[in-house]
Structure 1
Amino acid sequence: MTTALIMAGGKGTRLDLDYEKPMVKVNTKPMISYVIEALSFSTYIDKILVAVSPNTPCTADYVKKYPVIVVKTKGLGYIEDLSDILSNRKYVDEDEVVMTIVSDLPFITSTQIDDVLDNYYERKKPAMCVSVPAYLFEKYGITPTMVYEGLVPTGVNLLLANNKEQDQTIYVSKNIELAFNINTLDDLDLSEHYIKKRW
């Protein structure tokens, strides 16, 4: 069983908007809807959890239209909220495979999700971080939030639900869609330009 966990409880302060980050619209739809729909069509994903917090009440209400399980967190931070969920057997079994994914990847597709999971299961390691080469960010004019050894984390990770230290591999994807992690207004503007080229 593979469970997807969408982390949708952050304030999104870098966007400097007066509404919730997962609800920011890209091409007329809230960003989180693209992520949910991509996960729904994955051949691997059996269950979708959406982690919300007191910061994202509108998101919590919006996602009820989808076949997902809403998980209410304290909103103390990404790591704290993730740890609480992974240790809660109401939502995930011990050692269950969990794909954590951010809510601001509006161009991700089910094909890309399946590609990531193909690689995860082939590697036979408990954890995997998905990154994109930094040069792709430069090519498309996107500002990365963090670069480590020429790679940028995408916000997509695989791990087992046991809150233990896990042996991790890094999967380098060259899908530009994984680079469009919308964190700033500049990112949002770039995404609109990308849409025009894509469609």
Structure 2
Amino acid sequence: MIGIVMAGGKGTRMNLDNEKLLLHYKKPIILHVVDSLKNSNCFSKVIAVTSPNSPKTKKLLEENNIETFDTSGLGYVEDLNLVLQKFNDLVFVTSGDMPLLDEKIIQTIVNQHDSNKIWTSILVTEKLLTSIGTNSEYSIIHNNQKCHFTGISLIDSQKINSLENLEENFVILDDKRIALNLNTKQDYDLLSTA
């Protein structure tokens, strides 16, 4: 299994002078996410996906001997599609803006893998997001409750020709370590209470 960290976004909702993934929570957020994947011992390799939107993030990753994969930076879906075409393997995808992610929750998620499913997205409930003081724009109704995407998926890229008409499987895993993505300054402020 390959660990993929999406690290090429613009981070425009944060309205920062610097790149979002360089924000510190003990260390730069992007390094925290990459280290969590490496420390889980679940992956044959960990790769950070960068773009022209994140030159300083790419520089930091390279300075820390982390393999990067360049995309156009047109958008999350486009960048992910390019990555999935490149790697013919089982892939764990996460956003690079998850400061509470750790190796234990990664191991728990990897254990959710069902070889009969091509794509499994990990969800959290709205109730959990509300309880920790955050929200998300991307929601669905699953098992009769409002849920939100965490930005984490398990994907068998060997079985994908295109992202169109792909059946998505969902797993709800209510855990604050995967519930907090840094999308706004308020999300970053929540770290001091985590």
TM-score (norm 1): 0.88
What is residue 16 of structure 1 aligned with on the other side? 15
Deviation at 1:145, TM superposition (A): 2.5
Task: Give the partner amino acid of 1:158.
Answer: L
Contact 1:32–1:103 (CA under 8 A) maintained in structure 2:
yes
Deviation at 1:103, TM superposition (A): 0.4
Q: How far apart are the structure 2 equivalents of 1:19 and 1:166?
A: 36
Task: Give the partner amino acid of 2:16.
Answer: L
Contact 2:126–2:135 (CA under 8 A) maintained in structure 1:
no
Deviation at 1:99, TM superposition (A): 1.1
- Paired residue total: 186
**Residue 128 of structure 1 pairs with residue 89 of structure 2:** no
**Residue 115 of structure 1 pairs with residue 108 of structure 2:** yes
What is residue 146 of structure 1 aligned with on the other side? 138
CA 1:108–1:43: 2 relative to 1, 3 Å: same
Contact 1:130–1:156 (CA under 8 A) maintained in structure 2:
yes
CA 1:5–1:163: 2 relative to 1, 3 Å: farther
Aligned-residue CA RMSD in angstroms? 1.5
Q: How far apart are the structure 2 equivalents of 1:25 and 1:135?
A: 27
What is residue 137 of structure 1 aligned with on the other side? 129
Q: How far apart are the structure 1 equivalents of 2:134 and 2:167?
A: 30
Deviation at 1:124, TM superposition (A): 3.1
Unmatched runs of 5 consecutive residues or more in structure 2: none
Q: How far apart are the structure 1 equivalents of 2:85 and 2:96?
A: 21
TM-score (norm 2): 0.90
**Residue 99 of structure 1 pairs with residue 98 of structure 2:** no
Deviation at 1:30, TM superposition (A): 1.0
Unmatched runs of 5 consecutive residues or more in structure 1: 195-199
Q: How far apart are the structure 1 equivalents of 2:116 and 2:42?
A: 16
